[in-house]
């Protein structure tokens, strides 16, 4: 059944949760100041559409849902995420196939769109339209014909605007079906030529970082030498992969992840149950002064202020006003 939702977010965790069904397994927010994002999602019979406006830099770990193909592109010429270490420009698309894992990072504000389509149905539809076998590579960057790319963007924009305006067209089965057929046709046109497939090296690096992410989740304090040994890579290779895909080295990425865990624990905690120092030590921070300085740069307030707000939410606006976002 077709449906849509337009949301504005002031908390990063809520934004991440809203994207979980689209394959976003985790997000690390690296931008400074108060978080804000806008997300519009449209669900048709077979296709899922999304339009995203983000203000803060972040790194997302994505596992494309099984049986689906992810197609992403910039909107209105705005900056788009760097997908698996690959930057895409206006007029280009990037695709990742079923169960592909990757990191997508933004550098400052970004505005991008996505379409998720069933892999088998896209292949069947493409074969009917083209008369030949139609297969989308596991990962590829595309430079489709201008007319086809423009049609895809226009159809995507129309669906998003109807959702944001809460118009009834998307709840009409026949209208939604017609829109989906047009979108499928535009996708086939865009993915019929102009592909630059990912290299074997690129696939290998994505796999290294996916396993690196899993190891962090399982053992956050594992020494870097042990991580490299388990991954079967040198520290230099891991550092180069992280710089390209994550925008920061492996040690810096681990510190930022730990800092985010501290923030989440304080945000969800209660003063009578834990203290800032206890949470900090739990996540590997022993220099509380250094932690507080970095924390304030990232979140616009001191750790103690976050902890107070968790128990006194009615005072949240006072804390944020006094600290203020720091760019």
CATH number at residue 170: 2.60.120.10
pLDDT at 308: 86
Both 69 and 141 in a single domain?
A: yes
Reply yes or no on whether the pLDDT at 322 is more than 50: no
* DSSP per-residue string spanning 179-190: HHHHHHHHHHHH
Residue bearing the bigger pLDDT, 43 or 33: 43
- Pick from 175, 198, 221: which residue ends a domain? 198
Token pair 């250094």 is at which residue? 290
The lowest-confidence range among 189-193, 267-271, 285-289 is 267-271
- Pick from 198, 217, 246: which residue ends a domain? 198
Both 53 and 133 in a single domain?
A: yes
Give percent of the chain with pLDDT exceeding 90: 69
Both 34 and 110 in a single domain?
A: yes
Q: Which domain holds residue 78?
A: 3-198
Both 212 and 165 in a single domain?
A: no
> Angle CA(177)–CA(182)–CA(188) in degrees, nearest 5?
125
Both 50 and 173 in a single domain?
A: yes
Q: What is the pTM of this model?
A: 0.88
Both 42 and 177 in a single domain?
A: yes
pLDDT, tens only, 112-154: 999 999 999 999 999 998 888 999 999 999 999 999 999 999 9
pLDDT, tens only, 297-319: 888 889 999 888 876 655 444 43
Both 74 and 110 in a single domain?
A: yes
Both 85 and 220 in a single domain?
A: no
Q: Is 291 exposed, middle or buried (0-12, 13-18, 19+ CB in 10 A)?
A: buried
What domain count does the chain have? Answer: 2
In b/e form, how buried is each residue of 227-250, taking b as 16+ CB within 10 angstroms?
Answer: bbeebebeeeebbebbebbbbbbb
Both 83 and 213 in a single domain?
A: no
The lowest-confidence range among 69-73, 234-238, 239-243, 269-273 is 269-273
Look at residue 13 and give its three-state secondary structure.
helix
The lowest-confidence range among 70-79, 138-147, 200-209 is 70-79
pLDDT at 257: 92
Confidence of residue 267 (pLDDT cuts 50, 70, 90): confident
What average pLDDT does the segment 160-167 reach? 83
Both 191 and 221 in a single domain?
A: no
Both 158 and 206 in a single domain?
A: no
């Amino acid at each position: 059944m077709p449906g849509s939702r337009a949301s504005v977010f002031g908390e990063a965790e809520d934004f991440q949760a809203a994207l979980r069904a689209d394959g976003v397994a985790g997000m690390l927010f690296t931008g400074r100041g108060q978080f804000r994002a806008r997300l519009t999602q449209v669900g048709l019979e077979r296709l899922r559409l999304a339009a995203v406006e983000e203000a803060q830099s972040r790194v997302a770990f994505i596992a494309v849902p099984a049986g689906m193909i992810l197609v992403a592109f910039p909107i209105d010429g705005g900056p788009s995420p760097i997908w698996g270490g690959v930057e895409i420009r206006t007029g280009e698309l990037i695709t990742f196939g079923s169960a592909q894992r990757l990191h997508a990072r933004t550098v400052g504000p970004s505005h991008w769109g996505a379409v998720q389509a069933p892999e088998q149905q896209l292949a069947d539809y493409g074969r009917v339209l083209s008369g030949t076998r139609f297969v989308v590579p596991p990962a590829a960057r595309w430079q489709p014909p201008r007319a086809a790319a423009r049609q895809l963007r226009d159809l995507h924009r129309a669906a998003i605007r109807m959702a944001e305006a809460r118009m009834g067209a998307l709840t009409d089965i026949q209208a939604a079906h017609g829109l989906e057929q047009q979108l499928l046709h535009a996708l086939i046109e865009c993915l019929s030529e102009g592909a630059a497939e990912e290299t074997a090296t690129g696939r290998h690096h994505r796999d290294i970082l996916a396993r690196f992410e899993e190891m962090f989740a399982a053992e956050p304090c594992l020494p870097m030498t042990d991580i490299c040994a388990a991954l079967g890579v040198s520290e230099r290779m891991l550092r180069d992969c992280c710089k390209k895909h994550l925008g920061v080295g492996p040690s810096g990425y681990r510190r930022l992840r730990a800092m985010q865990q501290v923030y989440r624990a304080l945000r969800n905690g209660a003063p009578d149950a834990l203290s800032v120092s206890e949470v900090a030590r739990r996540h590997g921070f022993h220099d509380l002064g250094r932690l507080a300085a970095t924390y304030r740069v990232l979140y616009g307030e001191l750790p103690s202020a976050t902890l107070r707000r968790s128990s006194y939410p009615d005072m949240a606006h006072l804390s944020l006003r006094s600290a203020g976002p720091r760019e």
